[in-house]
Amino acid sequence: MTKPVLKLVTPIAETDAVTTRTMPRRPPNAELRSREYLTPSEVNQLMDAAKNDRYGLRNATMLLVCYRHGLRASEVCGLQWSQIGFDEARMHVVRVKKGTPSTHPIMADELRMLRRLRRENPHSAYVFLTERKGPFSTVGFAFMVSRAGERAGLPFKIHPHMLRHAAGYALANKGVDTRSLQSYLGHRNINHTVRYSELAANRFETFWK
């Protein structure tokens, strides 16, 4: 049985209407919001809104921990109970992006919320669990933060990294020196920390006194 002779055929160029269509442009951050951080009062609004959710304790605790310790989304999602020292009221913070690890104190209100959360999930390795009892994804956390911002009535769209920036500006306004703030946030390069001190409002408090 003879095999049919095959020959090369020049492919016909086809234009994909989907790829050639102009995709909607994502507006730059400056068009979405006037700043990339939250004030302490806005963080409180965010937490109050989160408390009214179905998983209010988990959501409010997650927001508070992220803010108090200046955590990135992946750091708070990956937080494990082995990093929490209840007796010493200390948190062993592990940073991503080659950041410097550190040990942070845990404030009393935060400690109470973590204890309650631990009683609800006594056998889990991760601190913050989804409804399916698995660790949070950064996408899931971003959705939760955005939804809490909408419920809080904040005038701009919220994303998780605004909580880390909020910690930096809040501590700079409290007078925390730049070197200490660098260690607290785990910045390897101090230039990433200087911006918080440069925009701290307390730098100008005595100008007209």
What residues are labeled active site? 72, 97, 161, 164, 187, 196
CB hemisphere CA count around 80 (13 angstroms): 6
| Distance, CA of 71 to CA of 73 (rounded, Å) | 6
- Per the listing, tokens 């919220």 go with 158
The set of residues, in sequence order, having a beta carbon less than 8 Å from that of 129 and lying 6+ positions away, is 58, 121, 135, 136
The set of residues, in sequence order, having a beta carbon less than 8 Å from that of 41 and lying 6+ positions away, is none
- What are the start-end ranges of the H helices in the chain? 17-20, 29-32, 40-51, 56-68, 73-77, 108-120, 138-152, 161-173, 178-185, 191-198
Whether the Cβ atoms of residue 91 and residue 75 lie closer than 8 Å to each other: no
Identify the burial level of 99 via C-beta atoms within 10 angstroms of its C-beta, where 0-12 means exposed, 13-18 middle and 19 or more buried: middle
| Distance, CA of 119 to CA of 21 (rounded, Å) | 53
Whether the Cβ atoms of residue 44 and residue 154 lie closer than 8 Å to each other: no
